[in-house]
Amino acid sequence: MSLKDHIALFLATSFYLGKFPIAPGTVGTLGAIPFFYLYWDKGLLAQISITLSVFFIGIWASYEVSQKYNDKDPSFVSIDEIAGYMVTMLGINTANIPLNQALMYFLLGFVIFRIVDILKPPPIKTLEKYPMGIGIMADDILAGVYSWIILHALIYFFKF
Please give the model's pTM, rounded to 2 decimal places. 0.94
* DSSP conformation letters of 13-56: TTTTGGG-SS-HHHHHHGGGHHHHHHHTTS-HHHHHHHHHHHHH
pLDDT (tens, 9 = 90+) of the chain, 160 residues, equals 899 999 999 999 999 999 999 999 999 998 898 888 778 888 999 999 999 999 999 999 999 999 999 998 899 999 999 999 999 999 998 888 898 998 899 999 999 999 999 999 999 999 999 988 999 999 999 999 999 999 999 999 998 7
153 CB-contact burial (10 Å; exposed 0-12 / middle 13-18 / buried 19+) = exposed
User: In sequence order, which residues have a C-beta less than 8 Å from that of residue 110 and are 6 or more positions away?
Assistant: 29, 85, 88
